[in-house]
């Protein structure tokens, strides 16, 4: 069996409108790609532009492999020197549809993304929002030049206090970001996601201003610590959430963290707005990262 990254999500809609969102160009350009050309009768399924990794120009090289309306879509996607295969399956589930993406033969680096799992988690959240609400929260830009920091922002209808609780309450952190969170809400206190520490992970709180600002140190194996800062600016019943991961000093390309933080920012937005009803995408398995 080939190496594969598998991600699933529940969508409150039937399989048919979801399949239309997956295959109609006017939908694809709303939630997925900057440009799309689709003619299922001729086997044409192409997308390109800044919102999808490795597809800057108008000859992206995708090839439709199979379609079963309302059930399955599969296509080849040349990515970072590899011919990858994407299989999207739809299964009726309680209250809607379970959508699963299986991305086979993933490259070691997908056009600057930290992993295909991050990309698909963000992408499937955008698909769900598009089908359910007709709008998306945030679309990635893979044409951004490498930088010494990652800076992302998003708007939410939740209050700063609600968002800040999502950043500090271990029970909430475990729903959208952490595995087994441990938080000491004081300057110098522990801030841990319970992740495998062979990769990047938070360490301790550096700044703490209730409902306004949280900074913590971030460790990468064998490298100087960096800093992650969340800033909350609330006005007129909404909150602007800004995430800044700084201090790389040219040691890492922009894309090392870009997709991961974009995914987490969208998760925090919807968790804050939907509360106990929110369910995030599920990473079933991860191939080579």
pLDDT tens, 145-162?
777 889 999 999 999 999
Mean pLDDT of 91-118: 81
Confidence of residue 110 (pLDDT cuts 50, 70, 90): very low
**pLDDT in the model for residue 288:** 53
Of 174, 95, 10, whose CA–CA distance to 183 is shortest? 174
78 bridge partner residues: 83
Q: CA–CA separation, 54 vs 64, rounded Å?
A: 18
Q: CA–CA separation, 2 vs 157, rounded Å?
A: 42
Q: Are 182 and 170 in contact (CB under 8 A)?
A: yes
Mean pLDDT of 113-123: 82
| Start-end of H helices in 24-90 | 25-31
**pLDDT in the model for residue 254:** 60
pLDDT tens-digit readout, 258-285:
889 999 999 999 999 999 999 999 999 8
CATH architecture of 4-133: 2-Layer Sandwich (3.30)
May I ask the CATH class of domain 150-252? alpha beta
**pLDDT in the model for residue 255:** 66
246 bridge partner residues: 227
Q: CA–CA separation, 36 vs 81, rounded Å?
A: 21
**pLDDT in the model for residue 285:** 83
Reply yes or no on whether the pLDDT at 57 is more than 90. Answer: no
Q: Please state the domain extents for the chain.
A: 4-133, 150-252
**pLDDT in the model for residue 108:** 65
- What does DSSP assign to residue 110? B
Confidence of residue 224 (pLDDT cuts 50, 70, 90): confident
φ, ψ for residue 248 (rounded to 5)?
A: -75, -30
Q: Is the dihedral of CA 60, 287, 3, 74 positive or negative?
A: negative
- What does DSSP assign to residue 286? -
When mean pLDDT is compared over 39-43, 143-147, 200-204, 227-231, the highest value belongs to 227-231
pLDDT tens-digit readout, 231-265:
999 987 899 999 999 988 766 656 678 889 999 99
277 bridge partner residues: none
Confidence of residue 2 (pLDDT cuts 50, 70, 90): low
**pLDDT in the model for residue 111:** 40
Confidence of residue 213 (pLDDT cuts 50, 70, 90): very high
- Of all residues in the chain, the percent with pLDDT exceeding 90 is 75
- Of all residues in the chain, the percent with pLDDT exceeding 70 is 93
Reply yes or no on whether the pLDDT at 98 is more than 90. Answer: yes
Q: In a 10 Å sphere around its CB, with 0-12 CB exposed, 13-18 middle and 19+ buried, how is residue 182 labelled?
A: middle
pLDDT tens-digit readout, 182-192:
999 999 999 99
∠ CA 163-169-175, rounded to 5°: 80
φ, ψ for residue 162 (rounded to 5)?
A: -65, -45
47-56, 99-108, 188-197, 244-253: segment of lowest average pLDDT = 244-253
Q: CA–CA separation, 35 vs 16, rounded Å?
A: 22
For 245, the 3-state DSSP assignment is strand
240 token code pair = 């602007």
**pLDDT in the model for residue 249:** 77
**pLDDT in the model for residue 46:** 95
Q: CA–CA separation, 209 vs 231, rounded Å?
A: 9
Over the chain, what is the mean pLDDT? 91
Reply yes or no on whether the pLDDT at 18 is more than 80. Answer: yes
pTM of the model: 0.92
């Amino acid at each position: 069996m080939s190496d594969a990254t598998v991600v699933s999500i529940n969508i409150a809609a039937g399989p048919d409108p979801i399949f239309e969102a997956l295959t109609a160009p006017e939908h694809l350009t709303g939630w997925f790609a900057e440009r799309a050309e689709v003619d299922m009768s001729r086997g044409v399924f192409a997308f390109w532009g800044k919102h999808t990794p490795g597809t800057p120009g108008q000859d992206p090289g995708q090839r439709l492999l199979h379609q079963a309306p309302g059930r399955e879509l599969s296509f080849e996607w040349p990515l970072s020197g590899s011919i990858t295969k994407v299989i999207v399956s739809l299964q009726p589930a309680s209250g809607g549809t379970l959508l699963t993406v299986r991305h086979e033969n993933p490259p070691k680096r997908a056009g600057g993304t930290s992993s295909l799992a991050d990309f698909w988690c963000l992408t499937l959240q955008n698909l769900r929002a598009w089908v359910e609400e007709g709008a998306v929260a945030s679309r990635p830009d893979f044409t951004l030049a490498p930088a010494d920091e990652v800076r992302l922002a998003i708007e939410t209808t939740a209050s700063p206090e609600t968002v800040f609780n999502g950043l500090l309450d271990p029970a909430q952190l475990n729903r959208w970001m952490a595995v087994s969170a441990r938080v000491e809400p004081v300057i110098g206190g522990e801030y841990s996601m319970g992740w495998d520490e062979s990769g990047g992970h938070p360490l301790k709180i550096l700044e703490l201003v209730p409902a306004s600002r949280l900074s913590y140190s971030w460790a990468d194996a064998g490298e100087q610590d960096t800093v992650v800062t969340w800033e909350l600016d609330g006005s007129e019943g909404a909150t602007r959430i800004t995430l800044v991961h700084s201090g790389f000093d040219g040691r890492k390309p922009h894309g090392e963290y870009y997709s991961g933080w974009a995914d987490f920012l969208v998760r925090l937005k919807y968790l804050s707005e939907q509360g106990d009803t929110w369910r995030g995408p599920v990473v079933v398995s991860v191939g080579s990262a």
